[in-house]
Amino acid sequence: MQTEQTIKKQRITLTDQLRMRLKGVMELAGGFLNRLGIHPNTLTLAGLAGNFIAAVFLARGEFLVGGIIALAMGPVDALDGTMARLRGESSNFGAFVDSVSDRYSELLIYGGLLTHYLGSGESLYGVLTFAAAAGAVMVSYNRARAEGLGFQAKIGILSRMERFVILIPSLILGFPWVGIGIIAVLANVTALQRIMAVRRQAHDREKN
């Protein structure tokens, strides 16, 4: 098992910081939706559907509309887990489904952009979009795989929230390639950061 000192060295991500700071707001919103009779799974499906619609607009080059829809889906994607916990229905499988749906939602957005760039012959931007999608997936996979082996990998400069904060404004402002380029570089850097963090923990484990 990794040493306590190694775990303390890991910087908490923006995603986890916001989750802690906005816990009260999320619980108020989640409680309100629960009282309306909305099931957490319904919200999960709504988030997927909304991001699919956003991806369709992005594929057509309508970045403003697609960006606004994707922005609106951010809180939707974040609330389903809170709702389940408040209902006393949270479970490991529910957390698994929540994480999987988040990955699909993000990949839908990249898929829409990739479709647009390949269709318009902008192959360089298509390559950047693929690199951004690959980096985003590897950031999440590295954390999941690390935790499955008993390590911690909640570090890095570009977790999901940072990617959201970078990409959405670039879509709304009509310069998606700027956000995609930043994510293509920094998401893969983050994936490497997590690999190195696990490597250090593995060495610490071998020494003990």
Residue of 186, 154, 191 lying closest to 167 (CA atoms): 186
**High-pLDDT (> 70) share of the chain, %:** 89
Query: Which CATH entry fits the domain spanning 4-207: 3.40.50.980, 1.20.120.1760, 1.10.150.20, 3.90.1520.10?
Result: 1.20.120.1760
**What is the per-residue pLDDT across 147-189, written as a single tens digit (0 to 9) for each?**
999 999 988 889 888 999 999 999 999 999 999 999 999 999 9
Mean pLDDT of the chain: 87
Residue of 108, 170, 151, 155 lying closest to 133 (CA atoms): 108
Domains of the chain, residue spans: 4-207
